[in-house]
Structure 1
Amino acid sequence: MKKPLITVALVLVAAALLSVFLSSMMEEGPAPALSISLTAPMQRDCSETVQASGWLKPWQEAIVASETSGHITEVLVDLGSVVTKGQALVRLSQDSVLTDIRKHEAAVVTAKANLAKAKADAERARQFRATGGLPDGKVGEYLEDEQIAMANLGSEEAALAGERVKLAQTTINSIDDGIITARSAQLGATISAGAELFRLVRQQRVEWQAEVPVRYLSRISEGLSVDIDGPDDHAIQGKVRLVGPSVNADTQAIVYVTLPPDVPPRTGLYLTGHIKLPTTPDSSSPRFQPCSGTG
Structure 2
Amino acid sequence: MKTLKTSYKPVALALLAIFTAGVIGMTLFSPASHAASDAKPATAKPALTVTTARPEAARLPIKLAANGNVAAWQEASVSSQSNGLRLAEVRVNVGDVVKAGDVLAVFAAETVEADLAQARAALQEAEANAAEAVANAARARSLQNTGALSAQQISQYTTAEQSANARIASAKAALSSQQLRMKYTRVVAPDSGVITARSATVGAVSGTGTELFRMILQSRLEWRAEVVAADLRQLKPGTTASVKAANGSVASGKIRMIAPTVDAQTRSALVYVDLPASAASGKDAPFKAGMFASGQFDLGTSDAITVPQQAIVVRDGFSFVFRLNADNHVSQIRVQPGRRLGERIEVLSGLNSDTQVVVRGAGFLNDGDLVHNVADTAAAAKVASKEATKVAAK
1:67 to 67, 71, 81: 81
Amino acid paired to 2:306: Q
Q: State the Cα distance separating 1:230 from its structure 2 match.
A: 2.2
Equivalent residue for 1:161?
Answer: 176
Q: Is 1:203 equivalent to 2:218 in the alignment?
A: yes
Return the alpha-carbon distance in structure 1 between the equivalents of residues 146 and 173 of structure 2.
39
Q: Does residue 1:233 correspond to 2:226, yes or no?
A: no
Task: Note if contact 2:58-2:306 (Cα within 8 Å) is conserved in structure 1.
Answer: no
Q: Once the 2 structures are TM-superposed, how far is the Cα of residue 45 of structure 1 from its aligned partner? A: 5.6
Alpha-carbon distance in 1 for matches of 2:94, 2:63: 38
Counterpart Cα distance in 2 of 1:161 and 1:142:
29
Query: Are the aligned partners of 1:222 and 1:242 in contact in 2 as well (CA < 8 Å)?
Result: yes
1:142-192 alpha-carbon deviations (Å, 9 max, x no partner): 111111111111111111111111110111110000000011111111111
TM-score (norm 1): 0.78
Aligned equivalent of 1:289, options 297, 306, 311:
306
Instruction: Give 3-state SS (helix, strand or coil) of 2:306's partner.
Output: coil
Asked if 1:266 corresponds to 2:288, the answer is yes
Deviations 1:165-221 (A, max 9, x none): 111011111000000001111111111111111111111111111112221111111
Work out whether 1:171 is the aligned partner of 2:186.
yes
> Shift of residue 293 of structure 1?
4.2
Deviation string, structure 1 residues 221-242 (Cα, Å, up to 9, x no partner): 1122222222332222222222
- Tell me the residue number matched to 2:131: 116
**Comparing 225-234 with 143-152, which one deviates more in the overlay?**
225-234
Deviation string, structure 1 residues 255-284 (Cα, Å, up to 9, x no partner) = 11111221025212211121122445x5x8
Counterpart among 52, 56, 66 of residue 52 in structure 1: 66
SS at match of 2:259: strand
Provide the C-alpha distance between the structure 2 equivalents of 1:238 and 1:138, rounded to a whole number of angstroms. 79
- Partner residue, 2:161: 146
Q: Report the Cα offset of residue 44 of structure 1.
A: 7.7
The 1-side partners of 2:240 and 2:152 are apart by: 85
Classify the secondary structure of the residue corresponding to 2:142: helix
Partner of 1:243: 258
Match of 2:297 in 1: 275
Give 1:128 shift: 2.1
* Superposition deviation, residue 140 in structure 1: 1.4
Q: 3-state SS of the aligned residue for 2:63?
A: strand
- For residues 261 and 292 of structure 1, what CA distance do their matches in structure 2 show? 34
TM-score by length of 2: 0.59
Q: Is the 8 A contact 2:246 2:292 kept in 1?
A: no
* Residue of structure 2 equivalent to 1:32: none
Letter in 2 for 1:53: N
| d(CA) in 2 for partners of 1:292, 1:130 | 106
Counterpart in the other structure of 2:352: none
SS of residue in 1 equivalent to 2:247: helix
Task: Flag structure 1 segments of 5+ consecutive residues without an equivalent.
Answer: 1-42
Q: Match for 1:180: what amino acid?
A: I
Displacement of 1:87: 0.7
Aligned mates of 1:90, 1:260 — CA distance in 2 = 30
Write the distance in 2 (CA, Å) between the matches of 1:227 and 1:127.
Answer: 84
Provide the aligned C-alpha RMSD in A: 2.2
User: One-letter code of the match for 1:226?
Assistant: A
Q: 2:202 is matched by which residue type in structure 1?
A: L
- Kept in 1: contact 2:113–2:182 (CA 8 A): yes
- Kindly provide the amino acid, as one letter, of the partner of residue 161 in structure 1: S
Does the CA contact (< 8 Å) of 2:81 and 2:184 recur in 1?
yes
Structure 1: 4+ residue segments shifted above 6 A: none
Of structures 1 and 2, the one scoring higher in RCO (CA 8 A, sep 6+) is 1
Partner AA of 2:113 in structure 1: L
